[in-house]
Chain A
Amino acid sequence: MATQLPPGIELEKVDDRIMTLNVGPQHPGSGHMRLIIKVDGDYIVSCDPDPGYVHRGEEKMAEYRNYIQNIPHLERPVIHDSCNILYPYCLAVEDLLGIEVPERAKYIRVIGSELNRCTYILYWLAIYGIFLGHSTMFMWPVGDRELFIDLLEAMSGARVTHAYFVPGGVRNDLPANFEERCLRQVDYFEKRLKEYEDIFYQNPVLKQRTEGTGILSRMDAIRLGTTGSVLRASGVDFDVRKKEPYDVYDNLDFETQVLREGDSYARSRVPYLEMFESCRIIKDALKKMPKSGSVRTKLKPNPKGGNDEVYRRVESGRGSLGYHIISNNRPEPYRVKISVGSFRNLICIPYLLKGEKLGNMPAVYWSLNYWPVEADR
């Protein structure tokens, strides 16, 4: 006897040819999310991403803390890109409270942000390597990441969650000899990056596997609202650092890396090329930085934002990352909306995976520069 279903609910029709696979959240190739994949033989007929396993309510938490208390918990969604996720918050709060940031602090923030971008991209690249079964490409970036982690530790005192950027500048000044050490390590890192080209990007098997898979055309990339390296790999020249320069990015010498292919290979290569640009920015900023001066404008105790709202965004490792803050004359923000690049790139997954082979799933999925924890916030 069939059970009576409540009105409005239908059972899913099962096709004998189609097998449903739950890739995640306990699958080694998924991250903190689930992809409900339906396969016909070796081909994916549909893919339904199911995020939300690590939702922590960061936005709601921000409404109960004042502008300074919000700093450490807001960097939790992407702990290995913590400078960049705090950057737009600091910019927005500075706009809201009307604070002027010292010149030296602006340069230090740019250096911290670029160092952290490299840390993030190396971590992402390591996982991309192991997703494709290339274990050396997992170990090398994770090892070289230590260079930047050490520099950031010298800057901020913490290896991963720095909480270094504060509204009004940075928490503390750079240590002695930092510039010399930074230049030496960045020079060494650029040499290492060239070896990645040999073992990974020019690898014939990798090229065969990723070239021409998961193609996202230029128009689709714009229409789906993608951002960051995904957008730039599809031939759209958009970088918040260039188009809406914040702090001192307009003084610095760098280029936007754009590729036209729009396939998984291009999407995996754009962040790699961006690491060269990051090194360039760091070296240029170290040269142009004022050698001494204040690094932090002191805030009033328990500052209140006016009856105002503000939106600021920066270029993070995963694309544009914006904060929309509404305040209503209180020490706590009325509403904080975090717009993250990961969540905007998530929408491509069903489009890109449809019709692909099951073996391409990790190659396409992880090339989207998607970080599940950030997307859930």
Chain B
Amino acid sequence: MSTIAPEFRLSRFIASLTDIIFWILLIFSIIGLPLVFILLFYIKLPVVNGQLLTPYLAMTWMADPSRTIPIIKSLIHTEFFRIIAFPGFGFAALLAAATIFVERKFLAKIQLRVGPLYCGKIEGILQLMADGLKLMSKEIIIPAKADKPIFWVAPLLFVGTAAALTSLIPVAPGWVAANPNVGLLTVFATIGFFPIITVLSSWSANSKWTFIGGIRALHQMISFEIPLILSLLGIVILTGTLNLTEIVESQQHYWWIVFMPIGAIVFFITIIAELERIPFDLPEAESEIVAGWLTEFSGMMYGLIQLGTYLKLYAFAGLFTVLFLGGWNGPMVWPPFPQEIITNGITIGPITAHIPGLPLFDQEMLNGTLWFVIKTVGVILVILLPRGVFPRIRIDMLLHTGWYTLIGLAFVNIFIALGLLYAGVLGHGGLMQ
């Protein structure tokens, strides 16, 4: 009897079904329910229809289809949702994944190729998932002489720091995971962690290639962080605030790129260098130093670093949008939520469903998100473009660019900002109130 294709037996089929149901019930009651409780513990439960939601009541409502909308809405407006899903990690990771796909197709178009094509039927849309599965199923190899705790923790630190950077980006009015008053300063502080993580991981791997790559990354990040900070001082001078939300609100009529194009160019070049993308990918130059500071990472450790890199890419593109391109500001193009649904409910054939609690998101938020995403995607595409056009530059050219050209231009930008401020064109009491 062949074991590859056993005969079908009804009794075994029913037995397997009951088996599955048993395990689902067991896992749900032992793991699932406590997880829901833990989740609900951290949500500040709202008062809906005069009733204070308790965890049991919330779970009762979740089982009732007509009452799920208010509970979803209350979930959306919690801090938990902001950090995990919408302006926080989930949204950023989604955009980062889309970026990887777009980068592949975009670069393939430049290079007269087709890019990923087969995985997922439609233009290889599932290629990323396949790559992720491959990375997860690979063995993680730790070098024998590595400093193991630091080597293990470096990819996690990298993703964590990149995610911290994404949480500072305001996506729509009022929609930001963390909104400190010194937002721009927090951004600088978070960027300052990356060289430390890079050097830690490269040193702990105890390999020559990672060592050279780490030193190169250190040189690159330090020499480009100074022009990065200086190029943004013009905006701080003109707006008089460090809060990113207030900086976006100050651009309701004019974007800062109109008045400070030099600062925008300097900031753009420095973010390409901070992201270690071509032409500034010296720390990972594969023809010179294998893979630089990533040489010894394998399997999902490498995957985490890549995830962190693309989160960082989204964060920097978002930062450029927020600081120079007006953030969420834009004409109102999103249609308002139809009033009939709120008053009359949805009628499908004989059934009329009254859904309380709609709309989930207000019009301004959706419109702001739309404009933010459009601008950010545009910036990301421009960041991706040099990879198809430029070769890699050399370390001395890089340092020369960082310390001479960019710092000089950043100072020119500061003087332009000061001039605009003292001439009274912009700033307090000027063109922009």
A132-B391, A133-B279, A359-B395 given; A139·B113 CB < 8 A: yes
Give chain A nearest CB distance to B283 CB in angstroms.
12
Contact for A209 among B107, B286, B289, B394, CB less than 8 A: B394
- Separation of A125 and B1 alpha carbons in the complex (Å): 59
Which of chain B's residues have a CB closer than 8 A to the CB of A28?
A: 286-287, 290
Cβ-defined contact, A359 with B111, below 8 A: no
Give chain B nearest CB distance to A19 CB in angstroms.
6
Cβ-defined contact, B388 with A359, below 8 A: no
Cβ-defined contact, B390 with A361, below 8 A: no
Q: A99-134 CB contact bits vs B (8 Å, 1 = yes)?
A: 000000000000000000000000000000111111
Q: Is B353 an interface residue (CB 8 A)?
A: no
Q: Which residue of A lies closest to B111 (CB)?
A: A139
Q: Is A29 an interface residue (CB 8 A)?
A: yes
- Separation of A209 and B397 alpha carbons in the complex (Å): 8
A143-B112, A358-B212 given; A133·B389 CB < 8 A: no
Cβ-defined contact, A133 with B397, below 8 A: no
Give chain B nearest CB distance to A246 CB in angstroms.
37
Q: Which residue of A lies closest to B284 (CB)?
A: A133
Number of A residues whose C-beta is below 8 Å from B? 31
Cβ-defined contact, B107 with A135, below 8 A: yes
Q: Is B274 an interface residue (CB 8 A)?
A: no
Give chain A nearest CB distance to B241 CB in angstroms.
38
Interface secondary structure of A, over-half rule: helix
- Separation of A135 and B278 alpha carbons in the complex (Å): 10
Cβ-defined contact, A140 with B290, below 8 A: no
Cβ-defined contact, B393 with A135, below 8 A: no
Give chain A nearest CB distance to B214 CB in angstroms.
14
Counting residue pairs across A and B whose Cβ atoms lie within 8 Å, the total is: 80
Q: Which residue of A lies closest to B287 (CB)?
A: A29
Cβ-defined contact, A357 with B396, below 8 A: yes
Q: Which residue of B lies closest to A208 (CB)?
A: B397
- Separation of A93 and B123 alpha carbons in the complex (Å): 54
Q: Is B217 an interface residue (CB 8 A)?
A: no
User: In the complex, which residues 77-122 of chain B have their Cβ closer than 8 Å to any Cβ of chain A?
Assistant: 107, 110-113
A138, A140, A358, A359 — which one has the most chain B CB atoms within 10 A of its CB?
A359
Which of chain A's residues have a CB closer than 8 A to the CB of B282?
A: 359
Which of chain A's residues have a CB closer than 8 A to the CB of B111?
A: 135-136, 138-140
- Separation of A362 and B387 alpha carbons in the complex (Å): 19
- Category for how many chain B residues contact A: 20 to 34
Contact for B278 among A21, A133, A358, CB less than 8 A: A133
Cβ-defined contact, B285 with A133, below 8 A: yes
Q: Is A206 an interface residue (CB 8 A)?
A: yes
Give chain A nearest CB distance to B112 CB in angstroms.
6
Q: Which residue of A lies closest to B278 (CB)?
A: A133
Which of chain A's residues have a CB closer than 8 A to the CB of B286?
A: 28-29
Give chain A nearest CB distance to B349 CB in angstroms.
55
Cβ-defined contact, A29 with B288, below 8 A: yes
Q: Is B148 an interface residue (CB 8 A)?
A: no
Cβ-defined contact, A130 with B387, below 8 A: no
Q: Which residue of B lies closest to A144 (CB)?
A: B112
Q: Is B296 an interface residue (CB 8 A)?
A: no
- Separation of A8 and B395 alpha carbons in the complex (Å): 42
Which of chain B's residues have a CB closer than 8 A to the CB of A137?
A: 391
A143-B112, A203-B391, A205-B390 given; A131·B397 CB < 8 A: no
Q: Which residue of B lies closest to A139 (CB)?
A: B111
User: In the complex, which residues 174-215 of chain B have their Cβ closer than 8 Å to any Cβ of chain A?
Assistant: 208, 212
Q: Is A360 an interface residue (CB 8 A)?
A: yes
Which of chain A's residues have a CB closer than 8 A to the CB of B113?
A: 139, 143
A19-B208, A21-B208, A135-B111 given; A209·B287 CB < 8 A: no
- Separation of A359 and B287 alpha carbons in the complex (Å): 9
- Separation of A351 and B110 alpha carbons in the complex (Å): 38
Which of chain B's residues have a CB closer than 8 A to the CB of A361?
A: 288
Q: Is A287 an interface residue (CB 8 A)?
A: no
Cβ-defined contact, A208 with B287, below 8 A: no
Cβ-defined contact, A362 with B112, below 8 A: no
Which of chain A's residues have a CB closer than 8 A to the CB of B388?
A: 135-136
Which of chain B's residues have a CB closer than 8 A to the CB of A42?
A: 395-396
Q: Is B225 an interface residue (CB 8 A)?
A: no
- Separation of A131 and B288 alpha carbons in the complex (Å): 8
Q: Is B134 an interface residue (CB 8 A)?
A: no
Q: Which residue of A lies closest to B282 (CB)?
A: A359
User: In the complex, which residues 14-41 of chain A have their Cβ closer than 8 Å to any Cβ of chain B?
Assistant: 19, 21, 27-29
Cβ-defined contact, A357 with B287, below 8 A: no
Q: Is A222 an interface residue (CB 8 A)?
A: no
- Separation of A171 and B334 alpha carbons in the complex (Å): 71
Which of chain A's residues have a CB closer than 8 A to the CB of B278?
A: 133, 135
Q: Is A199 an interface residue (CB 8 A)?
A: yes
Q: Is B138 an interface residue (CB 8 A)?
A: no
Cβ-defined contact, B287 with A131, below 8 A: yes
- Separation of A138 and B387 alpha carbons in the complex (Å): 12
Give chain A nearest CB distance to B243 CB in angstroms.
38
- Separation of A19 and B289 alpha carbons in the complex (Å): 13
- Separation of A208 and B112 alpha carbons in the complex (Å): 27
- Separation of A254 and B398 alpha carbons in the complex (Å): 42
Q: B261-292 CB contact bits vs A (8 Å, 1 = yes)?
A: 00000000000000000110110011111100
A-B contact pairs, 10 of them (CB 8 A): A133-B390, A134-B390, A138-B111, A205-B390, A205-B392, A209-B391, A209-B392, A358-B212, A359-B285, A359-B288
Query: Given contacts A133-B281, A199-B389, could you give 14 more A-B pairs where the C-beta distance is less than 8 Å?
Result: A27-B290, A28-B290, A29-B287, A42-B395, A133-B285, A133-B390, A135-B278, A137-B391, A143-B113, A203-B390, A203-B391, A205-B390, A205-B391, A209-B394
Which 7 pairs between the two chains have the least Cβ-Cβ distance? A133-B392, A29-B287, A139-B111, A134-B391, A132-B391, A359-B394, A362-B287
